[in-house]
Structure 1
Amino acid sequence: MTETSECETGAATELRLPALKIDQGRGRSLFTFAVDGKLVPRIATVSRIRRDQDTELHGYQRPEVLKHVAAIRRYIETDESPLLPNAIVIAFDKRVHFEQASAATDGLGYVQAGTLVIPLIDGPDHGLPGFIVDGQQRCAAIRDANVDQFPISINAFITSETADQRSQFILVNSTKALPKGLIHELLPGASGALPTPLRVRQLPATLLERLNFDATRSPLYQMVQTPTNPSGYIKDNSMLRMLENSLSDGALYRYRNDDGLPRIGEMLTLLYNFWSAVSEVFPDAWNKPSRKSRLMHGAGIISMGYLMDAISHVRDNASEIVSTEEFAVDLKSVAEDCHWTEGEWEFSDGVVRRWNDIQNTPKDIQRVADLLQNRYRLSQLR
């Protein structure tokens, strides 16, 4: 039975809910309990993904999908015995605690019965002890449904680390149609064990975040389109592919330091220097929609990444990173062959393409990349 503690005015100050504590090893515990869904808005809120005025990332949840919420609400309000069998997942902070029952659970050392004590908060939802990791649409539907109560199952864990909440959100939603852009933006601040494909993308996602939100140094400041920066002209996946290519076997590879922490500072200096030079050499094609500039298009971003790798290889100096000025000198040697905003590309295989006919396909990317690198190598022979 649900219990509430009350203050002198009679207002409930906490929920005391029968719960099972399930120890899952390495100091992590899961708490399973049931509660009236109408009470969830008093104990947990949704951590909306956003950036503050200093471009720091907060939260991790996408906005409510209103059509989905409405459909669930209609189902809850029917007379056909509605059933929501999947548990809501909530991350609680340290204000929530578990009181073990005096009697041990027979035969199962990893399960303990007891009471989960959750403070009830009246006021702004940012002061609530819980964040909904999975199930925000169901919670919203129950909140709005014209029913007196609707008990639901909850799986919860206790942590005060936002990075832990983000990791659990990514893992819970990794098999669902979660927008890739949202995952990419959350990865830099995630912690703990992640599936290998996501762990591989964490470093390029971290570099992308710095490129996109370093107002002081980055020439690409707020130019990459992400969930928190929808007005950017460059697709985040194009920039990630450029970074992944370079980390794999290009200019950034030498700074990976596979035996220790990656040398992110040096990676960023190289990237800032190169893209600053690009902005100087191609000002008419810089920071425009891809329909007006193929430099900002996937084919342009990825092929220029290959050129960055080629220039860095030629100018490789173990003690110094290629400067903006050095990059600019080499970019000028291929500038006449680039047709980002007008004219025609003349490729070595005899194909001639109008500037805006270049597409974000492997074949077009390879053609542009090969042309740029061949012209650059020829310039080094003169």
Structure 2
Amino acid sequence: MADRYTLRLPALEVRQGGRRIYCFAVDGKKLPDFAAVSRISRDDEKQLQGYQRPEVLSHIRAIRRYLESDGAMLPNAVVLAFDQRVEFVPGRRAKDVDYSVPGELIIPVDESLSENEKPAWLVDGQQRTAAIRDADLAEFPVAAVGFIADGQEEQRSQFILVNSTKPLPKGLVHELLPDTTGHLPPAYARRQLPARVMTRLNTDGKGAFFGRIQSPTAPHGNIKDNSILKMVEHSLYEGALYQYRNDDGTGDLDRMLAHLHMYWRLVRDTFPEEWKPAPKESRLTHGVGIQAMGFVMDRLTAETPVETVDWDRVRGVLEGLVPHVAWTSGTWRFAEQERPWNGLQNTPSDLRLLNDHLKPLTPSIDGR
């Protein structure tokens, strides 16, 4: 029968501006009893669930071997996000210090709860916690820092911020950004709306990119997420999607999606055989092709709302490109050089070369 009990841990409440964090120690073997590792996934309605990366088994094994050796020590604190069921009971306040208060952290433990029902989530320290769980040890106390979060959106924000000085996988950050609230570093804040658009492109069954963009929750996609992100970001700040964007970082997401869907379906239909392969077999789905064709969209449709774009004329312009491109075979014939079809790479110089090649062939359809 599963145990139910209350864990009372000596803790220190520390005031940081308008927030409170709690510093305490806990047996690492007990962490899985009340703290969940929320791994990133999507539900049946394509909504984001969780925020953690999958366990890195080799890393866990290395930590476990260290923990089982003599003199093992883990001085870095794990970080936990608590929900409202966790309570801090203050004790006697120090006479000359007003920013910290000793007391007890009270955590309800019910071992029968599923992962998503537990009162705490692990924000940082996933691999260490897994190693302690698997180690041949009776107990291993660890330092911990916790905070009480308002919901998963805040937990995602804290996860990104806590890990912002570490090399988080870019794909994980890109997938988390659309469902994150709170303050973000400027570089992440700028990419939040493009990431939201990219997620919709990948999960909306109406578009050419449906299921094609590789991400932690779509590992079988074969178009690089960063290629799509760069294409969308450029269009939002300098191209066709700018008209739907607000200065505060929000925008008319539905019209952005409609614009992108209309254009990229035409690209797919104009080059059906070139659209199917992965980037290694087609420069159309390669980063250099995605971005260059994004520039084409911006030239053809900038400042023209999706409802009034002459999409038949756009189709005609795209069909006119057929004799001049070599997405999957043949030779690129640029003004001053030739390249084999796969000789283009996703570099600034090659992207500029391809863009300069396509620019005279794709004038604005309203004569600008």
TM range (shorter): over 0.9
**Alignment match, 1:243:** 232
State the AA in 1 paired with 2:37: V
**Alignment match, 1:360:** 346
Decide which moves more: 185-194 or 125-134. 125-134
Equivalent-residue separation in structure 2 for 1:49 and 1:319 (angstroms): 34
State the AA in 2 paired with 1:357: G
Q: CA deviation at 1:336?
A: 2.1
Q: Secondary structure at the match of 1:296?
A: coil
Equivalent-residue separation in structure 2 for 1:115 and 1:20 (angstroms): 8
Residues 35-84 of structure 1 show CA distances to partners (whole Å, capped at 9, x for unaligned) of 111111101010001112222111111111111111111111112x2111
Structure 1 position 330 matched with structure 2 position 320: no
Structure 2 residue corresponding to 1:73, chosen from 41, 64, 67: 64
Q: Secondary structure at the match of 2:65?
A: helix
Q: Secondary structure at the match of 1:357?
A: coil
Query: For the Cα contact (< 8 Å) 1:43–1:129, is it kept in 2?
Result: yes
Alpha carbons of structure 1 residues 125 and 376: separation in structure 2 relative to 1, 3 Å: closer
Residues 16-50 of structure 1 show CA distances to partners (whole Å, capped at 9, x for unaligned) of 11111112123x21011111111111010100011
Query: For the Cα contact (< 8 Å) 2:300–2:363, is it kept in 1?
Result: no
- Percent identity over paired residues: 46
Structure 1 position 16 matched with structure 2 position 8: yes
Alpha carbons of structure 1 residues 378 and 333: separation in structure 2 relative to 1, 3 Å: farther
Decide which moves more: 153-162 or 182-191. 153-162
Query: For the Cα contact (< 8 Å) 1:223–1:287, is it kept in 2?
Result: no
State the AA in 1 paired with 2:50: G
Query: For the Cα contact (< 8 Å) 1:273–1:322, is it kept in 2?
Result: no
Q: CA deviation at 1:292?
A: 1.9
Q: Secondary structure at the match of 1:120?
A: strand
What TM-score do you get using the length of structure 1 for normalisation? Answer: 0.91
**Alignment match, 1:6:** none
Query: For 1:96-107, what aligned pairs fall within 5 Å after superposition?
Result: 96-101=86-91, 103-107=92-96
**Alignment match, 1:4:** none
Residues 64-111 of structure 1 show CA distances to partners (whole Å, capped at 9, x for unaligned) of 1111111111111112x211111000111111111122x222222221
Residues 200-239 of structure 1 show CA distances to partners (whole Å, capped at 9, x for unaligned) of 1111111111111112x32211111111111112101111
Alpha carbons of structure 1 residues 72 and 10: separation in structure 2 relative to 1, 3 Å: closer
Structure 1 residue corresponding to 2:269, chosen from 263, 273, 280: 280
Alpha carbons of structure 1 residues 21 and 332: separation in structure 2 relative to 1, 3 Å: same
State the AA in 2 paired with 1:170: I
What TM-score do you get using the length of structure 2 for normalisation? Answer: 0.94
Equivalent-residue separation in structure 2 for 1:226 and 1:74 (angstroms): 32
Query: For the Cα contact (< 8 Å) 1:270–1:321, is it kept in 2?
Result: no
The runs of 5 or more residues in structure 1 that have no matched partner are 1-8
State the AA in 2 paired with 1:337: H
Query: For the Cα contact (< 8 Å) 2:29–2:139, is it kept in 1?
Result: yes
Alpha carbons of structure 1 residues 239 and 225: separation in structure 2 relative to 1, 3 Å: same
Decide which moves more: 183-192 or 328-337. 328-337
**Alignment match, 1:199:** 189
State the AA in 1 paired with 2:40: I
**Alignment match, 1:54:** 45
The runs of 5 or more residues in structure 2 that have no matched partner are none
Structure 1 position 182 matched with structure 2 position 169: no
**Alignment match, 2:55:** 64
Aligned length: 366
**Alignment match, 1:162:** 152
Q: CA deviation at 1:328?
A: 1.6
Q: CA deviation at 1:282?
A: 1.0
Q: CA deviation at 1:255?
A: 2.0
Residues 186-211 of structure 1 show CA distances to partners (whole Å, capped at 9, x for unaligned) of 00011101111111111111111111
Query: For the Cα contact (< 8 Å) 1:333–1:379, is it kept in 2?
Result: no
Query: For 1:248-259, what aligned pairs fall within 5 Å after superposition?
Result: 248-258=237-247
Equivalent-residue separation in structure 1 for 2:183 and 2:364 (angstroms): 47
**Alignment match, 1:43:** 34
Alpha carbons of structure 1 residues 326 and 113: separation in structure 2 relative to 1, 3 Å: farther
Equivalent-residue separation in structure 2 for 1:230 and 1:308 (angstroms): 27
**Alignment match, 2:135:** 145
Q: CA deviation at 1:130?
A: 0.9
